[in-house]
Structure 1
Amino acid sequence: MPYFESPVDGTRLHYADHGPATGPVAVFVSSAYMGHEMWEYQMLPLAEAGYRCVALDRRGHGRSDDVWSGYDLDTLADDVHGLLDHLDLRDVTLIGHSVGTGEVIRCVTRHGRARVARVALVAGVSPGTVRSPGTPDGLDPQVVRADDELFRRDRAGYFTALADDFFAVHLPGNQVSAPYVRYMIDRCLVATPRAANGIRAVVAALDLAGELPALDLPVLVVHGTHDTSAPLAGTGERAARLLPDATLKVYENAGHGLFATHAARLTADLREFLDAGAVRAAEPAIAGAGRP
Protein backbone atom coordinates (compact mmCIF):
# COMPACT_ATOMS: atom_id res chain seq x y z
CA MET A 1 0.00 0.00 0.00
CA PRO A 2 1.31 3.51 -0.77
CA TYR A 3 2.30 5.58 2.24
CA PHE A 4 4.36 8.68 2.90
CA GLU A 5 5.46 10.51 6.03
CA SER A 6 3.93 13.80 7.09
CA PRO A 7 6.45 16.63 6.67
CA VAL A 8 5.27 17.97 10.04
CA ASP A 9 5.86 15.06 12.41
CA GLY A 10 6.54 11.91 10.41
CA THR A 11 3.03 10.46 10.79
CA ARG A 12 2.56 7.67 8.24
CA LEU A 13 -0.24 8.66 5.87
CA HIS A 14 -1.96 6.43 3.34
CA TYR A 15 -3.03 7.53 -0.12
CA ALA A 16 -4.62 6.02 -3.22
CA ASP A 17 -3.12 6.70 -6.65
CA HIS A 18 -5.21 5.58 -9.62
CA GLY A 19 -5.01 6.09 -13.36
CA PRO A 20 -2.12 6.86 -15.72
CA ALA A 21 0.93 8.65 -14.36
CA THR A 22 0.86 11.15 -17.24
CA GLY A 23 -2.78 12.23 -17.13
CA PRO A 24 -4.20 15.48 -15.71
CA VAL A 25 -3.96 15.23 -11.92
CA ALA A 26 -6.87 15.45 -9.49
CA VAL A 27 -6.10 15.22 -5.76
CA PHE A 28 -9.08 14.48 -3.52
CA VAL A 29 -9.40 15.49 0.15
CA SER A 30 -12.21 13.76 1.98
CA SER A 31 -14.95 14.75 4.36
CA ALA A 32 -14.66 14.47 8.12
CA TYR A 33 -14.42 10.87 9.36
CA MET A 34 -14.12 9.38 5.84
CA GLY A 35 -11.19 7.94 3.95
CA HIS A 36 -10.51 8.01 0.23
CA GLU A 37 -13.26 5.42 -0.38
CA MET A 38 -15.91 8.14 -0.35
CA TRP A 39 -14.64 9.27 -3.78
CA GLU A 40 -15.29 5.88 -5.43
CA TYR A 41 -17.84 7.25 -7.91
CA GLN A 42 -15.50 10.02 -9.02
CA MET A 43 -12.03 8.49 -8.89
CA LEU A 44 -12.77 5.23 -10.70
CA PRO A 45 -14.50 6.68 -13.79
CA LEU A 46 -12.05 9.58 -14.03
CA ALA A 47 -9.05 7.25 -13.76
CA GLU A 48 -10.58 4.98 -16.40
CA ALA A 49 -10.95 8.04 -18.64
CA GLY A 50 -7.23 8.85 -18.39
CA TYR A 51 -6.97 11.18 -15.40
CA ARG A 52 -4.56 10.57 -12.54
CA CYS A 53 -6.62 10.50 -9.34
CA VAL A 54 -4.88 10.69 -5.98
CA ALA A 55 -6.64 10.74 -2.61
CA LEU A 56 -5.31 11.14 0.92
CA ASP A 57 -6.47 9.40 4.07
CA ARG A 58 -6.29 12.15 6.67
CA ARG A 59 -4.30 11.33 9.85
CA GLY A 60 -6.42 9.13 12.10
CA HIS A 61 -8.72 8.34 9.17
CA GLY A 62 -8.88 5.39 6.81
CA ARG A 63 -5.57 3.52 6.71
CA SER A 64 -3.41 6.36 7.99
CA ASP A 65 -1.75 6.15 11.38
CA ASP A 66 -3.70 6.74 14.56
CA VAL A 67 -1.94 9.68 16.22
CA TRP A 68 -2.85 12.02 19.04
CA SER A 69 -1.66 15.34 17.62
CA GLY A 70 -1.93 17.31 14.39
CA TYR A 71 -5.67 18.03 14.29
CA ASP A 72 -5.32 21.68 13.39
CA LEU A 73 -5.85 23.23 9.97
CA ASP A 74 -2.21 24.17 9.37
CA THR A 75 -0.95 20.64 10.05
CA LEU A 76 -3.68 19.02 7.96
CA ALA A 77 -2.93 21.41 5.08
CA ASP A 78 0.77 20.63 5.41
CA ASP A 79 -0.08 16.92 5.16
CA VAL A 80 -1.90 17.58 1.88
CA HIS A 81 0.99 19.59 0.50
CA GLY A 82 3.37 16.89 1.70
CA LEU A 83 1.56 14.42 -0.55
CA LEU A 84 1.98 16.76 -3.54
CA ASP A 85 5.70 17.03 -2.77
CA HIS A 86 6.08 13.29 -2.19
CA LEU A 87 4.64 12.45 -5.62
CA ASP A 88 6.11 15.60 -7.24
CA LEU A 89 2.67 16.52 -8.59
CA ARG A 90 2.23 19.69 -10.65
CA ASP A 91 -0.68 21.52 -12.29
CA VAL A 92 -2.88 19.81 -9.73
CA THR A 93 -6.63 20.26 -9.33
CA LEU A 94 -7.27 20.05 -5.58
CA ILE A 95 -10.78 18.77 -4.78
CA GLY A 96 -12.13 18.92 -1.24
CA HIS A 97 -15.43 17.89 0.31
CA SER A 98 -16.88 19.42 3.50
CA VAL A 99 -13.99 20.12 5.92
CA GLY A 100 -11.66 18.97 3.14
CA THR A 101 -12.38 22.30 1.46
CA GLY A 102 -10.76 24.03 4.43
CA GLU A 103 -7.64 21.91 4.06
CA VAL A 104 -7.54 22.65 0.33
CA ILE A 105 -7.92 26.40 0.84
CA ARG A 106 -5.30 26.55 3.59
CA CYS A 107 -2.93 24.39 1.52
CA VAL A 108 -2.97 27.00 -1.25
CA THR A 109 -2.87 30.11 0.94
CA ARG A 110 -0.09 28.60 3.08
CA HIS A 111 2.07 26.97 0.38
CA GLY A 112 1.28 28.92 -2.78
CA ARG A 113 0.43 27.85 -6.30
CA ALA A 114 3.66 26.19 -7.42
CA ARG A 115 1.91 22.79 -7.57
CA VAL A 116 -1.78 23.74 -7.65
CA ALA A 117 -3.53 25.15 -10.72
CA ARG A 118 -7.21 24.83 -9.82
CA VAL A 119 -9.46 24.08 -6.87
CA ALA A 120 -12.89 22.48 -6.50
CA LEU A 121 -14.93 22.98 -3.32
CA VAL A 122 -17.64 20.33 -3.04
CA ALA A 123 -20.34 20.72 -0.36
CA GLY A 124 -17.85 22.77 1.60
CA VAL A 125 -18.17 24.01 5.16
CA SER A 126 -15.90 26.88 4.11
CA PRO A 127 -15.62 29.73 4.86
CA GLY A 128 -17.15 28.57 8.16
CA THR A 129 -20.39 27.43 9.77
CA VAL A 130 -19.93 28.41 13.45
CA ARG A 131 -20.21 31.98 14.68
CA SER A 132 -16.86 33.77 14.50
CA PRO A 133 -15.51 37.21 13.53
CA GLY A 134 -15.56 36.15 9.88
CA THR A 135 -18.91 34.35 10.12
CA PRO A 136 -21.11 36.48 12.40
CA ASP A 137 -24.28 34.67 11.27
CA GLY A 138 -22.94 31.19 12.01
CA LEU A 139 -24.18 28.62 14.47
CA ASP A 140 -24.15 29.43 18.17
CA PRO A 141 -21.00 27.79 19.65
CA GLN A 142 -23.11 26.58 22.59
CA VAL A 143 -25.28 24.58 20.18
CA VAL A 144 -22.13 23.07 18.68
CA ARG A 145 -20.83 22.08 22.13
CA ALA A 146 -24.12 20.34 22.92
CA ASP A 147 -23.90 18.47 19.61
CA ASP A 148 -20.34 17.44 20.50
CA GLU A 149 -21.61 15.84 23.69
CA LEU A 150 -24.10 13.74 21.71
CA PHE A 151 -21.32 12.72 19.36
CA ARG A 152 -18.98 11.69 22.17
CA ARG A 153 -21.71 9.66 23.86
CA ASP A 154 -22.58 7.46 20.85
CA ARG A 155 -20.78 8.01 17.54
CA ALA A 156 -22.46 5.04 15.86
CA GLY A 157 -25.91 6.24 16.87
CA TYR A 158 -25.04 9.80 15.86
CA PHE A 159 -24.00 8.83 12.33
CA THR A 160 -27.02 6.55 11.92
CA ALA A 161 -29.49 9.21 13.05
CA LEU A 162 -28.13 11.81 10.63
CA ALA A 163 -27.62 9.58 7.60
CA ASP A 164 -30.98 10.33 5.94
CA ASP A 165 -30.41 14.08 6.16
CA PHE A 166 -26.81 13.69 5.00
CA PHE A 167 -28.01 12.17 1.72
CA ALA A 168 -31.37 14.02 1.70
CA VAL A 169 -33.07 10.73 0.89
CA HIS A 170 -36.54 12.22 1.42
CA LEU A 171 -36.13 14.29 -1.74
CA PRO A 172 -36.61 13.04 -5.31
CA GLY A 173 -33.54 11.78 -7.12
CA ASN A 174 -31.53 10.96 -3.99
CA GLN A 175 -31.57 7.19 -4.10
CA VAL A 176 -28.94 5.42 -2.03
CA SER A 177 -29.34 1.87 -0.82
CA ALA A 178 -29.53 0.93 2.85
CA PRO A 179 -26.38 -1.24 2.50
CA TYR A 180 -24.48 1.70 1.00
CA VAL A 181 -25.53 3.96 3.87
CA ARG A 182 -24.44 1.29 6.34
CA TYR A 183 -21.11 0.98 4.55
CA MET A 184 -20.49 4.74 4.77
CA ILE A 185 -21.36 4.76 8.47
CA ASP A 186 -18.92 1.91 9.00
CA ARG A 187 -16.24 3.86 7.12
CA CYS A 188 -16.87 6.89 9.34
CA LEU A 189 -16.38 4.69 12.41
CA VAL A 190 -12.92 3.71 11.15
CA ALA A 191 -11.78 7.22 12.07
CA THR A 192 -10.39 7.00 15.58
CA PRO A 193 -12.26 8.71 18.44
CA ARG A 194 -9.38 11.18 18.80
CA ALA A 195 -9.33 11.96 15.07
CA ALA A 196 -13.12 12.26 14.87
CA ASN A 197 -13.30 14.73 17.73
CA GLY A 198 -10.20 16.54 16.52
CA ILE A 199 -11.67 17.14 13.08
CA ARG A 200 -14.91 18.38 14.62
CA ALA A 201 -12.87 20.98 16.47
CA VAL A 202 -11.32 22.04 13.16
CA VAL A 203 -14.80 22.55 11.67
CA ALA A 204 -15.94 24.51 14.72
CA ALA A 205 -12.94 26.86 14.46
CA LEU A 206 -13.05 27.30 10.68
CA ASP A 207 -12.96 30.97 9.70
CA LEU A 208 -11.61 31.36 6.17
CA ALA A 209 -13.51 34.43 4.96
CA GLY A 210 -10.29 36.42 4.96
CA GLU A 211 -8.38 33.82 2.93
CA LEU A 212 -10.82 33.20 0.09
CA PRO A 213 -10.15 36.52 -1.72
CA ALA A 214 -6.47 35.52 -1.90
CA LEU A 215 -7.29 32.30 -3.76
CA ASP A 216 -6.33 33.77 -7.14
CA LEU A 217 -6.96 30.74 -9.34
CA PRO A 218 -10.00 29.11 -10.96
CA VAL A 219 -12.33 27.59 -8.38
CA LEU A 220 -15.36 25.36 -8.97
CA VAL A 221 -17.91 25.52 -6.15
CA VAL A 222 -20.46 22.68 -6.09
CA HIS A 223 -23.23 22.71 -3.50
CA GLY A 224 -26.67 21.26 -2.85
CA THR A 225 -29.83 23.22 -2.12
CA HIS A 226 -30.69 20.97 0.82
CA ASP A 227 -27.31 20.60 2.50
CA THR A 228 -28.12 20.61 6.22
CA SER A 229 -24.48 20.16 7.25
CA ALA A 230 -23.36 23.25 5.32
CA PRO A 231 -26.36 25.42 4.34
CA LEU A 232 -25.90 26.81 0.85
CA ALA A 233 -26.31 30.53 1.62
CA GLY A 234 -23.61 30.65 4.27
CA THR A 235 -21.09 28.35 2.61
CA GLY A 236 -21.25 27.62 -1.13
CA GLU A 237 -22.88 30.88 -2.19
CA ARG A 238 -20.83 32.97 0.22
CA ALA A 239 -17.58 31.29 -0.80
CA ALA A 240 -18.34 31.93 -4.48
CA ARG A 241 -18.89 35.64 -3.75
CA LEU A 242 -15.61 35.95 -1.87
CA LEU A 243 -13.50 34.12 -4.44
CA PRO A 244 -11.96 36.14 -7.31
CA ASP A 245 -12.52 33.49 -10.00
CA ALA A 246 -15.35 31.15 -8.98
CA THR A 247 -17.94 29.14 -10.87
CA LEU A 248 -20.89 28.11 -8.68
CA LYS A 249 -22.94 25.04 -9.59
CA VAL A 250 -25.98 24.39 -7.42
CA TYR A 251 -27.55 20.92 -7.40
CA GLU A 252 -31.30 21.00 -6.81
CA ASN A 253 -32.44 18.73 -3.94
CA ALA A 254 -28.88 17.63 -3.17
CA GLY A 255 -27.68 17.19 0.39
CA HIS A 256 -24.18 16.97 1.85
CA GLY A 257 -23.67 13.48 0.42
CA LEU A 258 -24.04 14.58 -3.21
CA PHE A 259 -20.87 12.68 -4.10
CA ALA A 260 -23.13 9.59 -4.01
CA THR A 261 -26.65 10.86 -4.80
CA HIS A 262 -25.43 13.05 -7.67
CA ALA A 263 -22.35 11.00 -8.48
CA ALA A 264 -22.57 11.04 -12.27
CA ARG A 265 -23.27 14.77 -12.42
CA LEU A 266 -20.44 15.62 -10.03
CA THR A 267 -18.03 13.42 -11.97
CA ALA A 268 -19.03 15.09 -15.23
CA ASP A 269 -18.61 18.57 -13.74
CA LEU A 270 -15.20 17.68 -12.33
CA ARG A 271 -14.14 16.22 -15.66
CA GLU A 272 -15.19 19.41 -17.45
CA PHE A 273 -13.25 21.46 -14.90
CA LEU A 274 -10.17 19.27 -15.29
CA ASP A 275 -10.37 19.52 -19.08
CA ALA A 276 -10.61 23.32 -18.92
CA GLY A 277 -7.47 23.33 -16.82
CA ALA A 278 -5.64 21.08 -19.28
CA VAL A 279 -6.56 23.41 -22.16
CA ARG A 280 -5.39 26.45 -20.23
CA ALA A 281 -2.08 24.74 -19.33
CA ALA A 282 -1.49 23.89 -22.99
CA GLU A 283 -2.21 27.39 -24.31
CA PRO A 284 1.31 28.85 -23.84
CA ALA A 285 2.84 25.92 -25.71
CA ILE A 286 0.28 26.22 -28.48
CA ALA A 287 0.76 29.97 -28.71
CA GLY A 288 4.50 29.51 -28.96
CA ALA A 289 4.38 26.83 -31.64
CA GLY A 290 6.03 27.81 -34.88
CA ARG A 291 7.89 30.78 -33.44
CA PRO A 292 11.53 31.13 -34.44
Structure 2
Amino acid sequence: MPYMKTKDATCLYYKDWGSGKPVVFVSGWGLSAEMWNYQMIDLTARGLRCIAYDRRGHGRSDDPGRGYHYDTLADDLASLIDHLNLQDVMLVAHSMGSGEIVRYLTRYGSEKVKQCVFIGTTLPFPLKSEDNPSGFDRSLIDINRAMWKKDFPRWLQVNAAPYFGDGLPGCEVSPEMTDWTKSDMLQTSLKAILDCNLTLIETDFREELHDIAVPTLFIHGDSDRSLPVEMSGKIAAQLVPNARFHLYENAPHGLYITHMERVNNDLILFIS
Protein backbone atom coordinates (compact mmCIF):
# COMPACT_ATOMS: atom_id res chain seq x y z
CA MET A 1 0.00 0.00 0.00
CA PRO A 2 1.26 3.56 -0.67
CA TYR A 3 2.67 5.36 2.36
CA MET A 4 4.62 8.56 2.82
CA LYS A 5 6.59 10.02 5.74
CA THR A 6 5.85 13.41 7.23
CA LYS A 7 8.36 15.87 8.69
CA ASP A 8 8.28 14.09 12.06
CA ALA A 9 8.60 10.63 10.44
CA THR A 10 4.93 9.69 10.88
CA CYS A 11 3.82 7.30 8.12
CA LEU A 12 0.58 8.28 6.41
CA TYR A 13 -1.45 6.06 4.10
CA TYR A 14 -2.84 7.58 0.91
CA LYS A 15 -4.64 6.43 -2.22
CA ASP A 16 -4.06 7.95 -5.63
CA TRP A 17 -6.60 7.13 -8.34
CA GLY A 18 -6.86 8.22 -11.96
CA SER A 19 -5.11 10.90 -13.98
CA GLY A 20 -5.77 14.49 -14.98
CA LYS A 21 -6.21 17.57 -12.81
CA PRO A 22 -5.39 16.64 -9.19
CA VAL A 23 -8.01 16.78 -6.45
CA VAL A 24 -6.83 16.19 -2.87
CA PHE A 25 -9.52 15.24 -0.35
CA VAL A 26 -9.06 16.02 3.36
CA SER A 27 -11.30 13.99 5.65
CA GLY A 28 -13.67 15.11 8.37
CA TRP A 29 -13.15 14.64 12.10
CA GLY A 30 -12.63 11.01 13.06
CA LEU A 31 -12.91 9.70 9.49
CA SER A 32 -10.35 8.19 7.13
CA ALA A 33 -9.83 8.53 3.38
CA GLU A 34 -12.56 5.90 2.92
CA MET A 35 -15.22 8.55 3.46
CA TRP A 36 -14.43 9.93 -0.01
CA ASN A 37 -14.90 6.66 -1.94
CA TYR A 38 -18.07 7.82 -3.67
CA GLN A 39 -16.56 11.13 -4.73
CA MET A 40 -13.29 9.58 -5.94
CA ILE A 41 -14.85 6.77 -7.94
CA ASP A 42 -17.10 9.24 -9.78
CA LEU A 43 -14.53 11.98 -10.36
CA THR A 44 -11.84 9.61 -11.62
CA ALA A 45 -14.36 8.29 -14.15
CA ARG A 46 -14.77 11.88 -15.34
CA GLY A 47 -11.07 12.39 -15.99
CA LEU A 48 -9.69 13.69 -12.70
CA ARG A 49 -6.86 12.44 -10.50
CA CYS A 50 -8.22 11.90 -6.98
CA ILE A 51 -6.03 11.60 -3.90
CA ALA A 52 -7.09 11.05 -0.28
CA TYR A 53 -5.09 10.19 2.82
CA ASP A 54 -5.63 8.97 6.35
CA ARG A 55 -4.87 11.71 8.86
CA ARG A 56 -2.35 10.69 11.56
CA GLY A 57 -4.08 8.47 14.09
CA HIS A 58 -6.79 7.58 11.58
CA GLY A 59 -7.33 4.51 9.41
CA ARG A 60 -4.11 2.91 8.21
CA SER A 61 -1.77 5.76 9.20
CA ASP A 62 0.56 5.80 12.20
CA ASP A 63 -0.76 6.88 15.59
CA PRO A 64 2.15 8.86 17.07
CA GLY A 65 0.02 10.15 19.96
CA ARG A 66 0.95 13.74 19.10
CA GLY A 67 0.63 16.36 16.40
CA TYR A 68 -3.15 16.67 16.40
CA HIS A 69 -3.14 20.45 16.02
CA TYR A 70 -3.56 22.43 12.85
CA ASP A 71 0.07 23.44 12.31
CA THR A 72 1.26 19.83 12.21
CA LEU A 73 -1.79 18.62 10.29
CA ALA A 74 -1.17 21.34 7.69
CA ASP A 75 2.47 20.23 7.51
CA ASP A 76 1.23 16.68 6.86
CA LEU A 77 -0.88 17.94 3.95
CA ALA A 78 2.13 19.83 2.61
CA SER A 79 4.23 16.66 2.84
CA LEU A 80 1.67 14.79 0.73
CA ILE A 81 1.53 17.53 -1.92
CA ASP A 82 5.34 17.61 -2.09
CA HIS A 83 5.65 13.81 -2.07
CA LEU A 84 3.41 13.54 -5.14
CA ASN A 85 4.83 16.70 -6.74
CA LEU A 86 1.33 18.13 -7.23
CA GLN A 87 0.57 21.44 -8.94
CA ASP A 88 -2.69 23.32 -9.60
CA VAL A 89 -4.49 21.26 -6.95
CA MET A 90 -8.13 21.55 -5.99
CA LEU A 91 -8.30 20.94 -2.23
CA VAL A 92 -11.59 19.52 -0.92
CA ALA A 93 -12.36 19.16 2.77
CA HIS A 94 -15.20 18.05 4.98
CA SER A 95 -15.78 19.36 8.51
CA MET A 96 -12.48 19.59 10.45
CA GLY A 97 -10.45 19.13 7.27
CA SER A 98 -11.38 22.69 6.29
CA GLY A 99 -9.10 24.05 8.99
CA GLU A 100 -6.20 21.96 7.71
CA ILE A 101 -6.58 23.55 4.28
CA VAL A 102 -6.80 27.10 5.65
CA ARG A 103 -3.75 26.58 7.85
CA TYR A 104 -1.88 25.04 4.90
CA LEU A 105 -2.58 28.20 2.87
CA THR A 106 -1.46 30.36 5.80
CA ARG A 107 1.81 28.45 6.24
CA TYR A 108 2.66 27.55 2.64
CA GLY A 109 0.75 29.95 0.40
CA SER A 110 -1.35 29.12 -2.65
CA GLU A 111 1.38 28.54 -5.23
CA LYS A 112 0.36 24.89 -5.68
CA VAL A 113 -3.37 25.36 -5.07
CA LYS A 114 -5.88 26.25 -7.75
CA GLN A 115 -9.19 26.06 -5.83
CA CYS A 116 -10.63 25.12 -2.43
CA VAL A 117 -13.95 23.51 -1.51
CA PHE A 118 -15.25 23.35 2.06
CA ILE A 119 -18.12 20.91 2.70
CA GLY A 120 -20.00 21.02 6.03
CA THR A 121 -17.19 23.15 7.39
CA THR A 122 -16.26 23.76 11.03
CA LEU A 123 -15.01 27.21 10.02
CA PRO A 124 -14.67 29.91 11.16
CA PHE A 125 -14.77 29.34 14.95
CA PRO A 126 -17.14 26.87 16.65
CA LEU A 127 -16.62 27.90 20.29
CA LYS A 128 -18.85 30.45 21.98
CA SER A 129 -17.10 33.59 23.20
CA GLU A 130 -17.89 37.23 23.85
CA ASP A 131 -17.31 38.12 20.20
CA ASN A 132 -18.72 34.81 18.90
CA PRO A 133 -22.10 34.41 20.66
CA SER A 134 -23.45 31.88 18.13
CA GLY A 135 -20.80 29.24 18.95
CA PHE A 136 -21.14 26.11 21.10
CA ASP A 137 -21.07 26.44 24.89
CA ARG A 138 -17.96 24.89 26.44
CA SER A 139 -20.23 22.89 28.77
CA LEU A 140 -21.79 21.06 25.81
CA ILE A 141 -18.34 20.21 24.46
CA ASP A 142 -17.29 18.88 27.86
CA ILE A 143 -20.38 16.64 28.10
CA ASN A 144 -19.62 15.06 24.73
CA ARG A 145 -15.95 14.57 25.55
CA ALA A 146 -16.83 12.88 28.85
CA MET A 147 -19.09 10.49 26.94
CA TRP A 148 -16.34 9.67 24.44
CA LYS A 149 -13.95 8.80 27.28
CA LYS A 150 -16.50 6.31 28.65
CA ASP A 151 -18.21 4.85 25.59
CA PHE A 152 -17.36 6.29 22.19
CA PRO A 153 -19.14 3.47 20.26
CA ARG A 154 -22.38 4.29 22.08
CA TRP A 155 -22.06 7.98 21.22
CA LEU A 156 -21.59 7.06 17.56
CA GLN A 157 -24.72 4.92 17.63
CA VAL A 158 -26.82 7.71 19.14
CA ASN A 159 -25.55 10.36 16.72
CA ALA A 160 -25.56 8.35 13.49
CA ALA A 161 -29.17 9.20 12.59
CA PRO A 162 -28.85 13.01 12.82
CA TYR A 163 -25.48 12.84 11.02
CA PHE A 164 -27.28 11.39 7.99
CA GLY A 165 -30.43 13.48 8.22
CA ASP A 166 -32.64 11.27 10.41
CA GLY A 167 -35.19 10.59 7.66
CA LEU A 168 -35.25 14.03 6.03
CA PRO A 169 -36.59 14.05 2.45
CA GLY A 170 -33.84 12.87 0.13
CA CYS A 171 -31.69 11.53 2.97
CA GLU A 172 -32.39 7.83 2.71
CA VAL A 173 -29.22 6.07 3.91
CA SER A 174 -29.02 2.30 4.32
CA PRO A 175 -28.19 0.74 7.71
CA GLU A 176 -25.16 -0.78 6.03
CA MET A 177 -23.85 2.65 4.98
CA THR A 178 -24.35 3.91 8.51
CA ASP A 179 -22.51 0.91 9.97
CA TRP A 180 -19.67 1.40 7.49
CA THR A 181 -19.20 5.01 8.63
CA LYS A 182 -19.27 4.07 12.31
CA SER A 183 -16.76 1.29 11.66
CA ASP A 184 -14.42 3.77 9.99
CA MET A 185 -14.54 6.08 13.01
CA LEU A 186 -13.99 3.20 15.43
CA GLN A 187 -10.64 2.55 13.76
CA THR A 188 -9.50 6.03 14.77
CA SER A 189 -7.26 6.43 17.81
CA LEU A 190 -9.24 7.74 20.78
CA LYS A 191 -6.30 10.06 21.45
CA ALA A 192 -6.76 11.49 17.96
CA ILE A 193 -10.53 11.76 18.48
CA LEU A 194 -10.10 13.80 21.65
CA ASP A 195 -7.14 15.93 20.58
CA CYS A 196 -8.56 16.74 17.14
CA ASN A 197 -11.84 17.76 18.75
CA LEU A 198 -10.08 20.33 20.93
CA THR A 199 -8.16 21.58 17.94
CA LEU A 200 -11.25 22.14 15.79
CA ILE A 201 -13.25 23.66 18.64
CA GLU A 202 -10.61 26.04 19.98
CA THR A 203 -9.03 27.36 16.77
CA ASP A 204 -10.26 30.71 15.50
CA PHE A 205 -9.80 31.07 11.73
CA ARG A 206 -11.66 34.35 11.28
CA GLU A 207 -8.54 36.36 10.45
CA GLU A 208 -6.91 33.69 8.27
CA LEU A 209 -10.00 33.36 6.08
CA HIS A 210 -9.56 36.95 4.89
CA ASP A 211 -6.25 35.96 3.28
CA ILE A 212 -7.50 33.13 1.06
CA ALA A 213 -6.63 34.20 -2.46
CA VAL A 214 -7.88 31.27 -4.57
CA PRO A 215 -11.42 30.60 -5.82
CA THR A 216 -13.34 29.00 -2.96
CA LEU A 217 -16.64 27.14 -2.75
CA PHE A 218 -18.59 26.46 0.44
CA ILE A 219 -21.22 23.70 0.45
CA HIS A 220 -23.42 23.35 3.53
CA GLY A 221 -26.71 21.76 4.44
CA ASP A 222 -29.54 23.75 6.00
CA SER A 223 -30.23 20.76 8.31
CA ASP A 224 -26.68 20.25 9.56
CA ARG A 225 -27.05 19.52 13.28
CA SER A 226 -23.33 19.03 13.88
CA LEU A 227 -22.34 22.48 12.60
CA PRO A 228 -25.46 24.58 11.93
CA VAL A 229 -25.00 26.69 8.83
CA GLU A 230 -25.79 29.95 10.64
CA MET A 231 -22.70 29.56 12.85
CA SER A 232 -20.35 28.02 10.29
CA GLY A 233 -20.62 27.81 6.50
CA LYS A 234 -22.63 30.98 5.94
CA ILE A 235 -20.37 33.09 8.18
CA ALA A 236 -17.15 31.57 6.84
CA ALA A 237 -18.13 32.21 3.22
CA GLN A 238 -18.65 35.89 4.02
CA LEU A 239 -15.08 36.15 5.31
CA VAL A 240 -13.40 34.72 2.20
CA PRO A 241 -12.95 37.16 -0.70
CA ASN A 242 -15.21 36.29 -3.65
CA ALA A 243 -16.27 32.92 -2.21
CA ARG A 244 -19.26 31.03 -3.57
CA PHE A 245 -21.81 29.53 -1.20
CA HIS A 246 -24.17 26.66 -2.01
CA LEU A 247 -26.88 25.85 0.51
CA TYR A 248 -28.43 22.38 0.18
CA GLU A 249 -32.02 22.03 1.32
CA ASN A 250 -32.69 19.18 3.79
CA ALA A 251 -28.98 18.27 3.84
CA PRO A 252 -27.25 17.10 7.05
CA HIS A 253 -23.58 17.04 8.06
CA GLY A 254 -23.06 13.77 6.16
CA LEU A 255 -24.19 15.32 2.88
CA TYR A 256 -21.22 13.83 1.01
CA ILE A 257 -23.25 10.58 1.27
CA THR A 258 -26.87 11.78 1.37
CA HIS A 259 -26.37 14.24 -1.50
CA MET A 260 -23.38 12.62 -3.20
CA GLU A 261 -24.58 13.15 -6.78
CA ARG A 262 -25.11 16.86 -6.25
CA VAL A 263 -21.83 17.23 -4.36
CA ASN A 264 -19.95 15.41 -7.12
CA ASN A 265 -21.52 17.53 -9.83
CA ASP A 266 -20.70 20.74 -7.96
CA LEU A 267 -17.07 19.62 -7.64
CA ILE A 268 -16.88 18.90 -11.36
CA LEU A 269 -18.42 22.27 -12.26
CA PHE A 270 -16.12 24.14 -9.91
CA ILE A 271 -12.90 22.54 -11.15
CA SER A 272 -14.02 23.15 -14.71
Q: Same fold (TM over 0.5)?
A: yes
- The one-letter amino acid of 2:15's match is A
Q: Deviations over 1:163-197 (max 9, x none)?
A: 01001132110011001101110100000111111
Q: 1:278 is matched with which residue?
A: none
Q: Which moved more, 1:125-134 or 1:82-91?
A: 125-134
The Cα shift of 1:142 comes to 2.0
In the other structure, the counterpart of 1:19 is 18
**Structure 1: any 5+ residue segments left out of the alignment?**
276-292
Q: 1:236 aligns with which of 229, 233, 237?
A: 233
Matched residue, 2:6: 6
Residue-by-residue CA offset, 1:185-225 (whole Å, 9 max, x unaligned): 01000001111111111122121011101001100000000
Measure the CA separation in 1 of the matches of 2:130 and 2:80: 32
Aligned-pair CA distance for 1:132: 4.1
Superposed, 1:158-173 pairs within 5 Å as 158-173=155-170
Q: Output the amino acid matched with 1:202.
A: T
Question: Residue 218 of structure 1 aligns to which amino acid in structure 2?
Answer: P
More deviation, 76-85/131-140: 131-140
Number of corresponding residues: 272
Q: For residues 133 and 103 of structure 2, what CA distance do their matches in structure 1 show?
A: 21
Question: Deviation of residue 62 (structure 1)?
Answer: 0.9
Shift, 1:234, TM fit: 1.1
2:73 aligned to which of 72, 76, 79: 76
Pick one of 248, 269, 272 that aligns with 1:272.
Answer: 269
State the secondary structure of the residue aligned to 1:179: helix
Pick from 82, 86, 90: which aligns with 1:89?
86
Q: Is 2:96 the partner of 1:99?
A: yes
Change (3 A) 1:134 1:65: farther
Shift of 1:137: 2.6
Distance across 1 between alignment mates of 2:24 and 2:13:
13
Cα RMSD after superposing both structures: 1.0
Question: 2:259 & 2:121 partners in 1: Cα distance?
Answer: 15
Matches within 5 A, 1:253-264: 253-264=250-261
Which consecutive residues of structure 2, in runs of 5 or more, have no partner in the other structure? none
Query: 1:257, CA displacement in angstroms?
Result: 0.2
Please name the residue that 1:44 is paired with.
41
User: What is the CA–CA distance in structure 1 between the aligned matches of 2:36 and 2:221, rounded to whole Å?
Assistant: 17
Give the C-alpha shift of residue 133 in structure 1.
Answer: 6.4
Residue matched to 2:182: 185
For residue 134 of structure 1, report the CA deviation from its aligned partner: 6.1
**Aligned residues of 2:110 and 2:213 also touching (Cα < 8 A):** no
AA paired with 2:50?
A: C
**Aligned partner letter, 1:11:** T
Give the equivalent residue in structure 1 for 2:214. 217
Q: Superposed, which structure 2 residues align to 1:198-217 within 5 Å?
A: 198-217=195-214
Aligned match of 1:53: 50
Of 26, 32, 36, which aligns to 1:35? 32
Match for 1:115 among 112, 122, 129?
112
**In 2, Cα distance between the equivalents of 1:135 and 1:38?**
31
2:223 aligns to what? 226
The aligned counterpart of 1:284 is none
Question: Is the CA contact 2:16–2:50 (under 8 Å) kept in the aligned structure 1?
Answer: yes
Query: SS of 2:44's equivalent?
Result: helix
Q: TM-score, normalised by structure 1?
A: 0.91
C-alpha separation between the residues in 2 aligned to 1:274 and 1:134? 35
SS, match of residue 210 in structure 2:
helix
For residue 281 of structure 1, what is the aligned residue in structure 2? none
CA contact (8 A) 1:35 1:57 kept: yes
Task: Output the CA distance in 2 between the equivalents of 1:216 and 1:204.
Answer: 25
1:134–1:210 Cα change, 3 Å: farther
Structure 1 residue 130, shift from structure 2 partner: 1.1
Which residue of structure 2 lines up, in the alignment, with residue 290 of structure 1? none
